[in-house]
Chains A and B, each alone.
Chain A
Amino acid sequence: MRSAGRDRWLALVAPILLLAVATVAVVRFHWVQQSSWQGAGFGMFATHDYVPSRALRATASIGGTDRAVPIPAGLGSRVERVLAAPGDAAMVSLAEDLRSWAGADGLVLEVVGHDVTLDHDAMVVTLRSVRRVEVP
C-alpha cells in the first residue's frame, strides 16, 4: 500500500519539474519580455516575437556626438541572451560593457522587434522598441 503511494509520487517527479520550470518561463514572459520560445515553457510556435525577429542596436555618445556602434562578434552569446529576455539585468550589464569597450561617455542599447497587423490584402510589419537601456 505504502509502495503504491510512493510509486504515484515517483511518477510525478518529471512532470512536476517540467511544470515548475514552465511556470518560471511564464512569469519571465510577462516580467522580462522573455520570448515564449525560450526557457522551457513550451510556447514555441505561439508568437512571432522571438530571437530571430528581434535585433539589438547600440548608439554611443562620444564627445557630444551620437553614432551607431557595431556589436563585437565575440559577444554573440550575450547578445542572444539579451534578445531572448531583454528585461533582465543582462541587458544593463551588456550596455555597461559596450560603453567601456567603445570608450563612450554614454550608450543607448535597444532591442527592436516586429509588430504585425493584417490588412485585407497585405501584412504590415512595424518596427517597435522592445526595451531601451541608457547608461550611465
Chain B
Amino acid sequence: MTARLLPAWRDLIGPIDVLIGRLSLLLVIVNTNYDRPVMIAAAIGAAVIAPHPRLIRSPWPWFALAAVIGTAQARIWWRVDDHVVATTYWLIGFGAAQFAGDPILVLRRSARLLVGCIFVLAFGWKVLSSQFTSTEFFQYTMVRDSRFEVVSQTIGGMGDDELASARTDLAELSRSGDIGDRVVVAPGPRTATVAGLLTVWGIGIEGAVAASFLAPLRGRWRRLRPTTLVVFCLTTYGVVPVFGFAALLLTLGMMQENEARLRPIYPVALVLVPLSSYLLDRLGS
C-alpha cells in the first residue's frame, strides 16, 4: 500500500520546477489584492495550467497570466501592495526561464536574485529613512497601526484607554486640525525600548537576508539563506500577518534552494507563519 502511495505522492509533488510552478499558480490566486475578477481569472488559469507539466514548462501561459494580472495592477497601481507586483515579476521570470537551456538553473538564480533585490530595497529605504532610524516610525506605528496592538499593549505596556484615546486624537487632528496643531501622545512604559529593538532587528534581519541572497556563498555558508529568510518570515509575518508576502518569499526561497533536503523547511515555515500570528493574537486578547 505504502509502496503504491509513494509514487503517487511523488507524482503530485513532481520535479522541483513543476512543484514551484504549481505553488506559483496558487501564489497568484493569493496575491490578487482582493480584486475578485482578477482572482477568478487567476483561479481559472491555475486550474487549466496546474495539472499539465507540459503547460507549466511552456513560457506562454506564464506570460499570458502576467499580462492579465499586470494590466489589472497597473490600472490601480496606488492600491496594489508591493508583493502583489513582485508576484507578477516572478510569473514573467518563470516564463522567461522556459527559453533557457537549463530552466531549473535559471529559475533558481532568478528566485535568489529576486529575494536579494527585494531585501536590498527594503533595507535601503529603512537605513536612509531618518523616521525609521530614529525609532519614530515604530513609536508612531505602535499607536496608529492596529496590527501592532499586541506589541504596543502586551510588550510596550500601553493601556486600552490610552491607546484608544491616542488614536481618536490623531484621527481628529487629521480631520479638523489646523496646520501646526499638535497632539501629545503618552507612550507606554516600554514603548521606546520596544521601538528601539524593532528598529535594530528590522535593519539587521533585512540586511542579513539581502547579503546572504546576493553574496556568492559556497558550501555550508549557503544555509544562511534559508536561515535568515525563515527567521525573517516568522518574526515579521508572525506579528504583521501579510500571508501573501510570506508565501511569495518562501516559494522563491524553496526554488533557489539547491540542497533538496532543506526544501521542506519552507513549507513548514509557511504553516508556522499564520500559526504564530494566531497565537500572538490570542496572547494579546
Q: Which residues in A have some Cβ–Cβ distance to B below 8 Å?
A: 3-4, 6-8, 10-15, 17-19, 21-22, 36-49, 52-55, 77, 80-81, 84-85, 112, 114, 116-118, 121-129
Contact = CB atoms under 8 A, between A and B. Distances in A.
Interface in B91-115: 92-93, 96-97, 99-102, 105-106, 109-110, 113-114
Contact of A85 (B78, B102, B129, B186): B78
Interface of B: 76-82, 85-86, 89-90, 92-93, 96-97, 99-102, 105-106, 109-110, 113-114, 116-118, 121-122, 125-126, 129, 131-132, 134-137, 139-141, 143-145, 170, 173-175, 177-187, 192, 202, 240
B172 to A, nearest CB: 10
Given A43-B121, A46-B137, A126-B182, A52 B144 contact: yes
A112 B179 contact: yes
Contacts of A48: 131, 136-137, 140-141, 144
A8 B178 CA distance: 56
21 contacts: A10-B100, A11-B110, A14-B93, A15-B113, A18-B114, A18-B117, A18-B118, A40-B77, A45-B126, A45-B202, A46-B122, A46-B125, A49-B131, A80-B78, A112-B174, A114-B170, A118-B134, A123-B140, A124-B182, A125-B170, A125-B184
Nearest to A128: B179
Nearest to A4: B101
Given A13-B96, A38-B78, A116 B101 contact: no
A17 B136 contact: no
B183 A10 contact: no
Contact of A40 (B86, B109, B182): B86
A22 B107 CA distance: 21
B78 A42 contact: no
**Chain A facing B: main interface SS:** mixed
B101 A122 contact: no
A11 B79 CA distance: 29
Contacts, number: 182
Nearest to A29: B125
A43 B83 CA distance: 11
Contacts of A129: 179
Contacts of A81: 78
Contacts of A127: 173-174, 177-182
B76 A77 contact: yes
B135 A118 contact: yes
Contacts of A11: 93, 97, 100, 105-106, 109-110, 113
Of listed B76, B109, B121, residue having the most chain A CB within 10 A = B121
Nearest to B170: A125
Contacts of A112: 174, 177, 179
A84 B144 CA distance: 18
Contact of A42 (B122, B180, B187): B122
Given A14-B93, A40-B77, A55-B175, 17 more contacts: A3-B101, A3-B102, A7-B100, A10-B99, A10-B100, A18-B89, A18-B117, A39-B78, A40-B85, A44-B81, A47-B129, A80-B78, A114-B170, A116-B131, A118-B134, A127-B179, A128-B179
